[in-house]
Structure 1
């Protein structure tokens, strides 16, 4: 699951649901969750988006972003036009094979040409880091995902089923608070404390974001990116 902080979770959730052609499967005070049609929580290989309201989310360039998939240059142009009509703003220009935009609350994302047709509307969740290879080792073991590429300039993971978005790591020394972060959802049969302990042995550390007494755990990966380990 990708968690996104927002000023208005319902409005931003509607934007992303329309953009991705997903459905909202949960709406509650301060939280709007959306995913592909037919999504059944928890699905270990599926990706969904949880938009959570916070009083004043920082408008900064985070280390995590979404890259949307376009099958061709024509599809990319059509998708960008639809995004702009829905409230996104185009950022910059150039001849790159991607287009950079911001959503209605200023979160940066890209539309890129993706030759793999099985990713769905999201080509990848992209994480900036200092060491893509090391991050791929940690997250690949943490999630039991398969490494498809591991280079100094990019590492890519994907669910063992071979479908759905990639999790990509690219060099980016920026250290800042993310409005996007990852949430892990263990199997309903898993022992939550044991799963948290397993992640600690892989190199995760406890993180305090002022969460207080909550049923989930907040950890940080070896480069300090915070993530949550949810319960059912």
Structure 2
């Protein structure tokens, strides 16, 4: 079984357009086309200064988004003014406000140009050193079970346990957190954003791996 969290695979009707949105918003770089593993895919990678080993890989997919995503991104901010600036920047780049039943909360929920939800967080101490991306958030039915699974698969450490969530971090405590959030309706959420893992030496990349809740995990070539 693969043992490294590699990147997020994102289904997109227009990969170059969505990649441009996210690279601009996060301040990440678009990888040259000749490095893509999938024809038509576009990869967006964090700068080394962010210490983030993850990347976003936008792959061509027909049809629009039809359900709330199981996986979404939380963006970090260092002050209320910075939070507002990130929101304004996202809206200027084509994002829209989104209502997922969040009521009165200190974070702002938006959707990217293809309707994928993401949050711009208020300042939080635990996310102070993550760079632009605070966390990758995954809706799950059983956080404790999925926490142990993803820790074993990714090599990341479980750093917080709660009845409603489990948090993981890369061993060097660099880059974003992986937050597994309890959602009883997780099985009904969409799968246009998927966590991918690197293949072990001698293991062939491909699909066919699933987590304990039956969600597909792409296995990609070592990065």
Q: TM-score range by the shorter chain?
A: 0.7 to 0.9
Q: Which residue of 2 aligns with 1:166?
A: 177
Larger relative contact order, structure 1 or 2 (CA cutoff 8 Å, min sep 6): 2
1:4 equivalent to 2:44? Answer no
- Aligned equivalent of 2:63, options 52, 56, 66: 56
Q: Which residue of 1 aligns with 2:78?
A: 71
- Aligned equivalent of 2:113, options 101, 104, 107: 104
1:22-46 alpha-carbon deviations (Å, 9 max, x no partner): 110133642100111349xxx9x61
1:126 equivalent to 2:140? Answer no
* TM-score, reference length from structure 2: 0.85
Q: Which residue of 1 aligns with 2:212?
A: 222
How many Å apart are 1:85 and its aligned residue? 0.7
How many Å apart are 1:218 and its aligned residue? 2.9
1:145-224 mapped onto 2 (5 Å cutoff) = 145-174=156-185, 175=187, 176-186=189-199, 190-192=201-203, 215-224=205-214
- Aligned equivalent of 2:149, options 112, 130, 138: 138
Q: Secondary structure at the match of 1:62?
A: coil
Q: Secondary structure at the match of 1:124?
A: strand
1:157-191 alpha-carbon deviations (Å, 9 max, x no partner): 0000011101111111222331100111246xx33
Checking the alignment, whether the CA contact within 8 Å between 2:65 and 2:115 is kept in structure 1 is no
Whole-angstrom CA distance in 2 between matches of 1:88 and 1:107: 9
Q: Which residue of 1 aligns with 2:221?
A: 231
How many positions carry a matched residue from both structures?
A: 205
1:35 equivalent to 2:45? Answer yes
* TM-score, reference length from structure 1: 0.82
Mind listing any 5+ residue stretches in structure 2 that lack a counterpart? Answer: 1-6
Checking the alignment, whether the CA contact within 8 Å between 1:89 and 1:101 is kept in structure 2 is yes
Q: Secondary structure at the match of 1:14?
A: helix
1:51-74 alpha-carbon deviations (Å, 9 max, x no partner): 011122433102111111111222
Mind listing any 5+ residue stretches in structure 1 that lack a counterpart? Answer: 194-214
Whole-angstrom CA distance in 1 between matches of 2:56 and 2:142: 26
Checking the alignment, whether the CA contact within 8 Å between 1:9 and 1:51 is kept in structure 2 is yes
Q: Which residue of 2 aligns with 1:15?
A: 21
